[in-house]
Amino acid sequence: MKQVQFIDWGLIDYKEAWDRQEEIFSETVRIKTENRDNLNGDQRQTSDYLIFCEHPHVYTLGKSGKPEHLLLDEKGLEEKHANYYKINRGGDITYHGPGQIVGYPILDLDHFFTDIHKYLRFLEEAIILTLKEYGIVAGRSEGQTGVWLDGDNPWTARKICAMGVRCSRWVTMHGFAFNVNADLNYFGNIVPCGIADKAVTSLNKELGRDVDINDVKEILKSKICELFEMELI
């Protein structure tokens, strides 16, 4: 079992969390680069992290995203008490806010498997298995990342978890945003993930009641551990 450090940052400003991620990510990449350049010398071991947190209201735009998918101007952002950042993950625009589980696995995939598509599918599967614990059948939507309900039905498909990752030298950062008790009204101010014709949902909306987000975190952690064959420390 691969040992992975688990950290819960709680409610944290998006930019602060991004800076912390970058620091861990850059250090891991630096160690791997030094190891590659020093094959006949001492080889340092890299560490792996699974980070959970929540963010105050914020919109983030990925490298392939279109700025016009944010439907608010600067004044509108102020009125919504929301921030906006262009960032270095894949994907388009998404929303983060209280009531979401935002997950940032910073993993050296050389410790697991060097397949970014498999990595994304495992993250999706962990969410799918977590939802199953609440009696909700979830899955995927062909050609799109993330976790969906009724993903194959164009009339009722709705996304419950968005994903966007960055990977360099097989080190990952960014990750997923799982709507648990999220305020879905904030998604009305964007074209979520650049997809205009499909809805967004949350666990509490599907169940008709709020859930204990800490309980969801514990279930999700266990599913991630099973799939990635890791032990959290």
169 is in an annotated binding site: no
82 is in an annotated binding site: no
Per-residue model confidence as pLDDT tens digits over 176-218? 999 999 999 999 998 866 555 578 999 999 999 999 999 999 9
CB contact at 8 A, 8 and 16: no
The correct answer on CATH 3.40.50.12780 for the domain covering 2-232 is no
Tokens of 39: 């094959």
Which pLDDT value is given to residue 94?
Answer: 87
89 is in an annotated binding site: yes
Per-residue model confidence as pLDDT tens digits over 31-41? 999 998 887 77
Per-residue model confidence as pLDDT tens digits over 85-110? 998 887 788 899 999 999 999 999 99
Sign of the alpha-carbon torsion through 182, 214, 132, 103: positive
Which pLDDT value is given to residue 192?
Answer: 65
**Other CB atoms within 10 A of residue 87 CB:** 17
The total number of residues written for the chain in this structure: 233
CB contact at 8 A, 7 and 155: no
Cα distance between the two ends of the chain: 11
Per-residue model confidence as pLDDT tens digits over 48-74? 999 999 999 999 998 888 899 999 999
Tokens of 78: 């102020």
Which pLDDT value is given to residue 49?
Answer: 98
Catalytic residues: 193
Domain boundaries, the chain: 2-232
164 is in an annotated binding site: yes
pTM comes to 0.93
Residues 6 or more apart whose CB falls under 8 angstroms from that of 79 comprise none
Per-residue model confidence as pLDDT tens digits over 129-178? 999 999 999 999 988 889 999 999 989 999 999 998 999 999 999 999 99
Helix (H, G, I), strand (E, B) or coil at 133: coil
